[in-house]
Amino acid sequence: APAPAPFAVELPRGPGGFGFSLQGGPAGVFVRGLREGGPAQRCGCIQVSDELLAINGAPTAGMSHAQALARIRGGGSRLRLLLRRPHGAPPNPLARGVLRLRVGSSPRGEPCFCLVGGLHP
């Protein structure tokens, strides 16, 4: 079976950060948890065990846990993530070649979005 398709998420920084925790390191960086009511949970696109492939455009391959955290914390008021759901389809799986934009909002009303779909081999 082909590898699950990556998907992009952009989150606003909330009062307590972006609302998720990490685990892992050079062999792979994964979402460990979501904070109740935080930007990551409110967006609705990120799940525990999703693999982070890139943080603000920087590939996570070979990145340590501390490096991934530093990249997230130093990213400013918005965070761009490229993720892959290791088991199962990404959010709202769609037909080949179709892109869908899922829009949510942070607790402060700032928009966050999740781009899903694309060409699957």
- Asked if 90 and 4 count as a contact pair (C-beta separation under 8 A), the reply is yes
pTM for the predicted model, two decimal places: 0.73
Phi-psi region of 44 (alpha: psi -120 to 50; beta: other; left: phi over 0): left
- 23: Cβ–Cβ under 8 A, 6 or more apart, which residues? 29, 30, 31, 32, 65
- Asked if 83 and 57 count as a contact pair (C-beta separation under 8 A), the reply is no
Class of domain 7-117: mainly beta
- Model pLDDT for residues 47-70, shown as the tens digit of each residue: 999 999 999 999 999 999 999 999
Domain boundaries, the chain: 7-117
Structure tokens at 1: 């079976």
Task: Give the 3-state secondary structure percentages of the chain, helix then strand then coil, rounded to 5.
Answer: 10, 40, 50
- Model pLDDT for residues 9-38, shown as the tens digit of each residue: 999 999 989 999 999 999 999 999 999 999
